[in-house]
Structure 1
Amino acid sequence: MSEALSSRKAPNQCETLAVKLRLPVTMAQPPSLDTSFGQTSSPNVSLSAYEMSSGSDGSYPFTGKVVGYDYEFVPPVDGRYECTICFGVLREPRQTPCGHRFCRDCILKWLRQPQHRCPVDNEHLSDSMLFPDNFAKREIDNFTAKCPNSKQGCDVIETVKRMPSHLKECPLAFVPCPNNCASVLIRRDLADHMHEHCQNRLVHCPDCGQQGKAADFEEHVQSCPHGKVKCEHCGEEVARREIERHRKDFCQKTNIPCMFQALGCEVQVQRDQLDKHIRESLTPHLSMLCQGMVAIMQRIGINRLSTEGVPLSARELTPTEISGFMSSLVQPLQQLSLETRQPQGAPGDSRSLDSSSVVKTSVSMHRSPSDPKYSMLISSGTQEASGFSHTSGASDYGVKMAPASLVGPVSGVESESLKSLHHDEMLVRHKQSLLELQAKTETLERNLKQKMKQYDQQISELEGKMCNGQYYWRIRNYSRYQREAEHGQTTALHSHPFYTSPYGYKLCIRANLNGVDSAKGSHLSLFIHFMQGENDDLLEWPFNGRIVLSVKDQNECCELRNHVAETLSSKPNLAAFQRPTTPRNHKGFGYMEFLPLNVLRNSSYIRNDTLIIKAHVLPNG
C-alpha cells in the first residue's frame, strides 16, 4: 500500500478518477513475490484515455494525449462546442452547474489542482458536481470531418462517431510494424514491408534450413556450418564444418611435411607433389635411414651386423628381404645378453634374453621408421638393455650399472618394479604440483573478480556523479524482464545510482514493468528512491524540488516522437523525501499507472528490445 493512500479508509469518486489519470502517489517498495503463472489475473482497465490520436496531421497512434477532437471539420464547428481548456472540440463533454462545458478528461485533470474552481468564472467546482452533456455529445458525433490522413492523400469525410472505425482501416494511416522492428509506415505498404524489407521477418537459411530474423541472416551466412566456402589452397568448395578436415587430409595443394621428417628431412611439399619428392630424393632419404639405423645399433650395443644373407645390390628391397634383414638383428642381441650376464653367475649359468625381450626387439626391427610405435619400442628396448651390467671395463659402450645395495644380478621383473615405483613417485609429485598450482590459480581468480567488481562499482558511482541530475536508464532485454515480471519472478528493477551533482543527492529509479497493486498487469509503474550518499550531512533535508520522469519515444522520425513525461513535486511531510536511514529508502515516490502496457507494446517506445527512462531532478535553491 502506498504512503499517500495508506491513511484513506474510503476514497471518494474523485480520488478514484485521479488514480486513473496517473496522479502522483508515494509507493512503498513491494516485496518480491514468487507467484506461479496463472494464479493472478490482470485487471481489465479501459484505455479510452489513450485512444488513437485524432490530429489532422495523421500523427502516429497511441500518442497518450487526452484532449478534445482536433479534426479538420467540414463545415467548421461553432465555438460553443469547443473546450476552453484544450481548445479542441468537446470529447465526452461534461457540463458544470454554472453552464460551462469541458472535455471529461480536461476538467478532471484541472480539478486535480488544489483549487477546485471553474476555469471560466472561478466558481466553486468539484468532480461530483459534473454531469454528462449527452445532447452536445450526440450533436458532436454527427459532425463531419476530413480523415486525419488527408495530408497523405486520403479524401474520406466521415462523422466523428464513425471516424475511429475508418482510422482502423484507412490505407494511408501510419501504423507500426507488427514484427516490432520500430518502423512506422503507411498501412497500404505494410504487407510489402513485412515480406520484403522488415528486419524482423523470418527467413530460412538455404544451407542448414534454420529459421531466424532477416537482420541476423548475413551474420548467420558468415558462420553457418553447412555453408559452402572455398579452400584457399585448391579452390574447391567444401562445407564450412569440413574445411579443416579437408585441409588436413584431402587438399592436394596444402603443404605437408615429408614422411622422412623424423629422420631429418625438412622439406615441405604440396600433397600432390609428395610422390615426386620421394622419387627424386631417394639417395638422401636412404642416407638418413642408414644414419638412423647406425644410431640405434650403437644405442643397443651392436658393433656390426652379419652380412650373411643381406642383399648388396642397389635394387629396391622387397618386403620379404627387408623382414629377413631386420630379423638378423635378433642373434647379435642374444649374444649381447650372454656376454653381459655370464660374469655375474657361475660358469655355465649363462642366461639368454627373455623370449619376450627377443620378440619385442624382433617386432621393433620389423617396423617402419615412419611408424610412431617404432620410436617407442626402440626406447623400451634401450631401457631393457640398460638393465644389464658389465663388470669388465673393456666394452666401448657404457651400460647403466645396477644399484650397489642389490646383491647379485637384477632380474628383468625386479628392474621393471623399480621403474614402476619411480614412475608412481613422479606421478604423485606432479599431481601434488598441479593441485597447488590449481589452488593458487583459483585464489588469484577470486581476487581478480573481487577487484573487477570494485572497479565496476567505482566507475558506476563516478558516472552517476557526472550526470548532474539528468539520468538516462536503458532497460535492455525488455521482453525477458517483462515476462519475468508477469510470472512474478522479477517484479521490480532498480537503476544504477545517480547524483543531482557531484556533491548532491543520491537517487535511483524503480520500474515495475508489470505494474503494482491496482495497476498490476495493466500499466508500467515508475518511482524514484533516495539513497544514502557521501554528502548527506551537507545537504538540506527533507528534499525540496521537482523530479521529471519520462519514457522516451525512439521513433526514427523525429517529427513523430512523443515522449511521455510527468513532473513530481516534493512533499516534505512524506518519508520518501526524508534523509535515508538505509542504503536505499524503502519508500518511493512516483506513479502506479505511468503508461498502459498496451501502449508500450508494438510501439516505438520499445526499440531493439530496449526501454529508455529519463529522470531529471531539479532541487530548489
Structure 2
Amino acid sequence: MGVEKESPTSSLGRDSIYRASLKLLRHIKNAGVFRCPEDDRPLDYAQIYPDDELTTEVMNSLIRCRYHKEGCRWVDKLQNLQAHLDQCPYDSIQCPNSCTRMLSRLSLDDHLEFSCPRRMVVCEFCNQQFPGDLFEKQHAGNCPYEVTWCENKCGAKLERRFLANHMRNECHKRTVQCPYCNRDFVQETLQTHQYQCPRFPVACPNRCDPTKIPREEVEVHIQALCPSATVSCTFKEAGCKHKCPRFNMDKHLDNNMKGHLQLMCDLVAKQQTQITQLCNALYSITHVTDGTFVWKISNYKQKFLESVYKNAELVSEPFYTSRYGYKMAASLFLNGNGAGEGKYISVYIKILPGEYDNILEWPFALPITFSLFDQCVEFDFRANISESFVPDPTWKHFQKPRKDTDRDALGFGYPKFVSHEILKTRDYIKDDSIIIKVKVDNNKFISP
C-alpha cells in the first residue's frame, strides 16, 4: 500500500508538533518542570527521548512561508525555512540606520532612500548634507539657494536669499505707500496715481505763492484765500459789479462805503415788498377757505382756570367761507359769558374785514353750525353736540364790517352752548383738549 503525499497546507500541523516538542525539551531543561505543555499532565523524564525518525519526517514536510498572506510564494521543506526567512523580502527586519522602525526587506530600499529620519540627504540646491528629519522639517522649502518665484507674481525667478530684498526694493508689483496721501498702491501704478492724488502738491494757478498746495485744496484756496484771485465785490447781491484781485478788495470797500450803503437800502426795500407778497400768498394757501374750520383747544385745564379768574376770551385764527368769500373768526369763553357765565361754554362768530368785502353780498346771510366733538375711540358711539343758526340781516353783527371795527367786540353765538356738567359725561375732554368745528353752509353763496 502506498503512502499519500502530504500537501504543504497539512504539513503545517507537523510544524506545530515539532515546535511544541522543541518547546517542551527547552522547558524541561531550563525549568526542570516535568509536565506536558499541552495537557499539563505529569511526565516521566526517563521516558522522554528524541525521535530521529519523527524529526526527519517533520523536517522534510512541505510548508509555506509564514508571510504567504503578504504575498510570499515560497513552498519548501521545513528544514529550509530559516534559510528562506534570512532572505525573505517579506520578513521584518530593523532599519540599519537604527531609526527604531521594523519593516520588510521589500520596503527597506524605499525607506532608506525616502523616509528614514536618519538617512543623509544632500540638498540639490546648496549641496549640503542633512539628516532626513532635519531636512524635511527645517531645510526643505527654506534653502537660501533654492530658485523660486516672486510671491508678488511679477514673473521674477531668483534664489530665496535674494527674494526679500527683491520684494522690498525691486519688485514692480510690490506694495508701496503714497508719500502724500499715505494710501497703499502697487508700485507700477504709483506714478499714475500721483496725477490724481488729492494730496499731491501743485502750484496755485494764480502763482500767488511759491509754496505748493495739496491738489484737493486748490479750489478752496482760490475761492477763499488766494490774494491774487479775481473776486467780485461783497455787495454783488446788492448790485455792485466791481471785480478786482482779493488783496485790493479792502481798498474798494473803503472808497465806496456810501454807495454800498445806498445799494443795501434799496435791496432791503425790495426784499420787504417781496416778503409782504409772499406772506399774503402763504396766508391764502395755509388758511381755511372752504367755510369749515376745526379748532383744537389744548391745555384745557390751564385755559379754563384763566377764564375763571380773568374771564379770558379765546379767539381762533381767521378763516374764509370760500376762496373769495367772507372772512371771520370764532371766539370761545371756557367759563361762559353773559347768561352762561360760570356754568357753560360760550361760543361766538365774528365777521372780520376781508379782502373781497366790496364784491360780496351784504348783510351776511349764510347758515352757521357750531359742533363740539365727542372724542370717543368708537366712531359709531360718538355723540357730538351741534347748534345752528341763520343770521338775522337786521343784526349789526352781520353787516359789512369796517376796517376800524373793534376786533374785541363780541360776536353772535351761544352763551349757553354746552354746560360744564355735560362736558364730564363723555369724551368731550380728552388728552386735556377739546375740539370745536365751525361750519358755514355755502350752498346759497353766490360767487362774485
Q: Same fold (TM over 0.5)?
A: no
Q: Compare CA radii of gyration and give the structure with the larger one.
A: 2
The one of the two structures with greater contact order (alpha-carbon pairs below 8 A, sep at least 6) is 1
Question: TM-score of the superposition, structure 1-length normalised?
Answer: 0.27
State the TM-score, normalized to the length of structure 2. 0.36
